[in-house]
Amino acid sequence: MKRVGFLLKVKESMMEEYKKHHENVWPEMQDALKRAGWHNYTLFIRDDGLIFGYFETPVDFQTALDKIAQEEVNPRWNAFMEPYFENLGGQLVDQSMVELEEYFHLD
């Protein structure tokens, strides 16, 4: 199982509303993530809106992104979330995730 860490940036002025939406993530989006192999998916946020995301997948990061991109609900969720993020440069939220290099792990 590959562990994936990534970064994104939410607009500070929209953090609370953004977090509120994650209290009730659409069930079809949750199902899509599971089908795409995103396990143990966790999001952390800093006071300035920097998000650290983590998930485990049986495939590499790009393949996991490709799999979720094939899910019908994914573009709708991305469009819904897009206004909350900084620096997307015209890309979907998923395409803007900056993967972090794993360099240490302790079980």
Q: Residue 69: name the closest of 100, 101, 33 by CA.
A: 33
Bridge partners, 50 (sequence order): 9
What is the tens place of the pLDDT at every residue in 61-85? Answer: 999 999 999 999 999 999 999 999 9
So what CATH class is 2-100?
alpha beta
Q: Where are the domains of the chain?
A: 2-100
Q: Which positions are catalytic?
A: 22
pTM: 0.89
Q: Which residues of 74-99 are buried (b: 16+ CB within 10 A; e: fewer)?
A: beebbeebeebbeebeeebbbebbee
Instruction: Categorize the per-residue pLDDT at 90 as very low, low, confident or very high, splitting at 50, 70 and 90.
Output: confident
What is the tens place of the pLDDT at every residue in 17-28? Answer: 999 999 999 999
The end-to-end CA distance of the chain, in Å, is 13
Q: Residue 78: name the closest of 45, 38, 32 by CA.
A: 32
